[in-house]
Structure 1
């Protein structure tokens, strides 16, 4: 009879216990401060890799146009830029902040400057006529109306012999 089967239920194996000890030490390693904090930061990064670097948009089609709405609360109209390249419409938001602090006692100045740029591009199946595009910005909502291009219909003739 082969020694591989049947398995003797009275025989104790040492491998699972040794493996459990190894797993316990690995769990402790990952729960300790430096590694735990690093892993939490990695989780946060991959759940939201670019915080505050994007803005929500919605694209809806009607019979005559494509209507794009971008939510941009707290943004001034001057910070928004619209660019059209053939089949693409790009919405860009530039935010620059300069903070200057003056300490009269130590006669020092501290200036910090931040610049953030975020953009979203929308692809269209047809070229965009930039002369017909209308955009309006009110109460943090940018609405862009892109008229649809009318295609040309070609009649198919019957071929007679």
Structure 2
């Protein structure tokens, strides 16, 4: 029996194998060949201009005590006017919205620039009971939003024999 393997002589069109670290190597090369300090400082400035990424959420913690539920959300760098609370049945939604317009004018060179930023992030917390919105208390201080929701006792039903 003769076994012939196909020859590779006619198959010269090999495709390059993608490197898994190609983007990382390119980024490292860019870091060392360009002005790294300026880029680093610009990224820090961008972070403080926009304290939370548009796709990321924020940390929310729910604590249940004997008489109430306490929901705490960490919102550093957010103004009170940017926070919206919405309650429906046993859900409470915390939304943060940031709309900004930056305008730069250079009349000497006749350059006008306008940037519009819109960031929105929200988290929804589910509670085991319906929320009575008249009894809910919310406070915001030092980047910490705290919502206090009293627990309500339902009517106890006796089971007959």
TM-score, scaled relative to structure 2 = 0.68
Q: Distance in 2 between matches of 1:32 and 1:90?
A: 40
Task: Give the drift of 1:131.
Answer: 0.4
Task: Give the drift of 1:133.
Answer: 0.4
Q: 1:64 aligns with which of 53, 63, 67?
A: 67
Task: Give the drift of 1:30.
Answer: 2.4
Q: Distance in 1 between matches of 2:128 and 2:59?
A: 21
Extract structure 1 runs of 4+ deviating beyond 3 A: none
Question: Which whole-Å deviations, capped at 9, do the CAs of 1:29-87 have from their partners, x for residues lacking one?
Answer: 22278xx329x9xxxxxxxxx94531001000001111000000000000000000111
Q: Distance in 2 between matches of 1:89 and 1:51?
A: 22
TM-score, scaled relative to structure 1 = 0.68
**Long gaps (5+) in structure 1:** 1-13, 15-24, 41-49
The answer to whether 1:77 aligns with 2:80 is: yes
**Long gaps (5+) in structure 2:** 6-13, 27-51
Cα distance, 1:151–1:109 mapped onto 2, change above 3 Å: same
Q: Distance in 2 between matches of 1:32 and 1:88?
A: 43
What is the count of residue pairs matched by the alignment?
123
RMSD value over aligned CA atoms?
2.7
What are the equivalent positions in structure 2 for 1:19-30 lying under 5 Å apart?
A: 29-30=17-18
- Is contact 2:91–2:125 with CA below 8 Å preserved after alignment? yes
The answer to whether 1:31 aligns with 2:34 is: no
Q: 1:119 aligns with which of 122, 132, 138?
A: 122
Partner SS state of residue 155, structure 2: coil
